[in-house]
């Protein structure tokens, strides 16, 4: 079974600074997708970014980018120019065969 590990339960960053959230996963499959979701205090799950495993190029979405290392099974999220609205729980997720498997999340605090 696939597992997703987020080793940082909590992280903090100063407004306008950059922060990187870590994620590793375990799989024997070659075709899969990886996701970062954001869950603000409203509890709504919001897609932040998505990465196809067969693509070597790292995905980017405005201030959000990933560092995808397939051999190391690592998928970190970098948030640049952090804003107060980025404060949330961030979940890494592995997708294959209809399902997403989530990590336990990293709580990000943004300090003004």
- To which H or E segment does residue 48 belong? strand 46-52
The one among 14, 63, 104, 109 contacting other proteins by CB under 8 A: 104
**Closest separation in Å from C-beta 14 to other proteins:** 25
Considering only 16-24, 56-64, 68-76, 91-99, which stretch makes contact with other proteins by CB under 8 A? Answer: 91-99
**Closest separation in Å from C-beta 17 to other proteins:** 26
- The Cβ of residue 50 has, within 10 Å, a number of other Cβ atoms equal to 15
> Distances in Å between the alpha carbon of 63 and those of 19, 48, 88, 99, 104?
11, 10, 15, 27, 23
> x-or-dash pattern for other proteins, window 13-52, by CB under 8 A?
------------------x-x-x-------xxx-x--x-x
């Amino acid at each position: 079974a696939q597992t997703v590990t987020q080793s940082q339960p909590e992280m903090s960053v100063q407004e306008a600074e950059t922060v990187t959230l870590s994620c590793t996963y375990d799989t024997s499959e070659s075709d899969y997708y990886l996701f970062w979701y954001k869950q603000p205090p409203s509890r709504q799950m919001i897609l932040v970014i998505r990465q196809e495993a067969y693509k070597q190029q790292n995905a980017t979405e405005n201030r959000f980018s990933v560092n995808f290392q397939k051999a190391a099974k690592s998928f970190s999220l970098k948030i640049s120019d952090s804003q107060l609205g980025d404060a949330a729980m961030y979940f890494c997720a592995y997708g294959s065969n209809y399902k997403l498997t989530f990590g336990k999340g990293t709580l990000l605090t943004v300090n003004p």
